[in-house]
Amino acid sequence: MYDRPGLQLYKALPPLVFENSRYLFLVTMPSVKAEEAKLYFGDPSNHFWDVLSAIYDLPVNTKEEKLALCQQEKIAITSIVASCLRHMSEADTMEEIQLNDIQGFLEAHPTIDTIICVSHRAKELLERSNYQGGCAIEYVPSPSGADLDYESVDKLLPKYKEALGV
């Protein structure tokens, strides 16, 4: 089962969520560097935190500042995928995907009213999950530095502002 060349078992980070969270950023699976940092979007080449910093005019230099921004601005982050086989951080190599219980997560966090899918794949997997509706669904492009269509914070800002209603 796990002997495919180049594929390794990955498990999602625990959700980042607060009692007052309203906006859920839904990713497919954190990158290897995010897992090493134990923080969603923890890869230094990822633009996510810089985008939020620009939107809310708050610092994101440390993990603590990033967590404080999320709490203050009512942002949660989790992965739609609980575990999968994949090659490094390459989402297009994911196999044997096990989805998280998104409906249960939302029931446990009833203040969340907007799901922001961070990639078309996250939205596709949400549609295949046990999600039963009730939240607004938004899409934003991946803030990964590898996405050449959105390689800068300036290109991402309008999409993220729209999804967050700011």
Structural contact between residues 56 and 69, judged by C-beta atoms closer than 8 angstroms:
yes
- For residue 3, pLDDT over 60 is answered with no
What pLDDT, in 10s, does the model give residues 71-85? Answer: 999 999 999 999 877
Strand, helix or coil for residue 147:
coil
Give me the pLDDT at residue 113, please. Answer: 98
What pLDDT, in 10s, does the model give residues 84-110? Answer: 777 665 666 677 789 999 999 999 999
**Rounded distance between C-alpha atoms, residue 56 and residue 166, angstroms:** 9
Q: What is the DSSP string of 74-142?
A: TEEEEESEEEEEESTT-GGG-EEEEE--HHHHHHH-TT--EEEEESHHHHHHHHHTT----SEEEEE--
Q: Which domains does the chain have, with CATH numbers?
A: 8-164 (3.40.470.10)
Single-letter amino acid, residue 146: A
9 vs 21, higher pLDDT: 21
pTM over cut 0.75: yes
Give me the pLDDT at residue 45, please. Answer: 87
